[in-house]
A and B are shown apart, each in its own frame.
Chain A
Amino acid sequence: MATQAQSAEGSQNLGAGEGDVRRRDFLNVAAVSFAGVGAVVALAPLVVQMSPSADVLALASTEVDISKIQPGQGVKVSWRKQPVFIRNLTSAEVAQANAVPLSELRDPQSLAERTKPGKANWLVTMGVCTHLGCVPLGIGEGENRGPFGGYFCPCHGSAYDTAGRIRQGPAPLNLQVPDYKFTSPTMVEIGATEK
């Protein structure tokens, strides 16, 4: 008993030995880090819940019937709550697009790159100006098509050509071509492949 009391007294007076300090700190560090990891993992659901929920992701694709669109006409449809322009180009508009040398374009892309093979007259683009996000004019009958005969954004004057490429004004990129495919000659599915 006395020995125990003595050694205990010793450790109290002289301070703990080296091994004791390391063991003591290790346990505390281990406990606190474990708790820290737990706290971070516990935050994960709080962050993840803000990502699109399953019902939003399910509406990620839309089918459009294009059978009624005549050459020279276009429609505006909604996909993922954003406008999409689907235009049936006339052969004159196709030729006009193909005549432009790529070196003249701010965002060089040919009409063939922006359409499906064999369907060069079907131009499917987002209806969102790549400058600051306004909806350009030109898809509806009688709307201002701008100096290049395609689309024209009234907000800051960006002008797109018949292939939806930026030709003039502050927008940096061509109108984005979304992911789409022809499920039949008269049906287009937008957002098909990203499930």
Chain B
Amino acid sequence: MTRQLPALIIIAPLIGTFCISIAGWINKRYCLPILIAALGISLYASIGLLGLVIQEHGVVYRLGGWDPPWGILYQVDYLNGLVLIVIAVVALINAVACRKHVLEEYPDRVGPFFTLYSLFVTGLFGIVVTADAFNLYVLLEIASLSGYAMIGMGNGRAPLAGLNYLFMGTIGASFYLLGVGYLYLVTGSLNMADIALILPDIYESRVAMTAFVICMAGLFLKMALFPLHSWMPNAYTHGSFAALGVIAPLTTKVMIYVMIRISLTVFTPSFVFDRFRIDEAIVWLAIIAIVAGSLLALSQSRLKKMLAYVIVAEIGYMVGGFWLGNRQGITGAVLHIVNDAMMTLCVFLAAGAIAYRQKGDDFEKMEGLFITMPFTMSGFVVAALSVIGVPPTCGFFSKWYLISGGIAAGQYAFVGALLLSSLVHVVLFFRIFEIAYYRPEAGHHGGGHSSSVINEAPLDMVIPLLVGAGLLVVLGLNTGFLVDRVIRFAVPAQLI
């Protein structure tokens, strides 16, 4: 049974997709339980896989029994074992929390929405678990197409934002496909490990370099690294919270995983960091992303849009941390994939609960929320402290690794940008706390409800949020375990 886990992890949500679309026709109420059951199986499989990886240092699954260069391989190691668990946890928590949002936003399209949700998660699992460069492209498009549709299903300006997202995403995916084409041209293989065996002889060839650059350009577009981020704020502002709760934490983080996977497994650290000197340029891009994302976040007056720009800055953290090219930096980047996915989930869950109660996410709608929605706001505070990087929460520890990586690499501009953006995040979130804490809601806006009555969001939104916030602290306190037992082995041994 444990041998089948890598397949089980994507089979469960894939079959779930079909069942949900059928259930949508019969009785809408069955959709969500099927989704949660499928995601639960995936979570079980992903935890089992990480256990197996810790025991055996890697799990390989041959689809259809075909051996590597010909067949498609699913491979789980320390790096993607961790990312799989994150995907499963985030998707499951958001699935529990999103029912009321779905009923409010698209009451007549519950079945299609959960079908897309399940397909989206299937695609993400596939991207992470596969060891085949072309298979990765196909699964990337499965995840992206369901993502475009989920964003575009929303009301208001959502279709326009979804279409722009689709244009940019398709350009990114086409570039990735082109890069894989060049790799195939020089190696004649699509299996990542096989390409890695063949490539060292032809590292001098311009085709290999072209392949790498084109792949990276496509992935940067997909992950919304700063100058290429233009699709993201609109898509994340106009999408519904039910969709954002899973898209915002996972899409960009999975793309960063793909970047790390292509750089470290398909190419080697010696090619990426020693032979091909673009690492410094990309760290500078990341610095610009961090500063620009933080400053743009300052000028927003809607919670969702502000959070979208915070994500732009966080992407800079991870890209910069990875391209520092030393052990500390890459450890920080991988750790931050885990932590940032959880933090983003929590802030979006909290924002969703607030928007559900207050009918909007403008800052002025948040007045007096500490009194009326104490549990939601406490979850929001924990998540915000984690985004800022305050010690007991997990955000502090990944920032610590990133900063010490920056110091070890002598990249003081990167360290400075990280500290600056932490300060900006303090301003961002304490401005919200101030609005929510000090100004009473009654008075000038004349809202219908009085200011001192508790008007908490529904339980099925608050409990997932509090569980997520608890996980942030648990993750923070267990950073040592994560780094020593898992991430340490995910970073190639030749890096110091």
Q: Is A bound to B?
A: no
Residues of B in contact with A (beta carbons under 8 Å apart): none
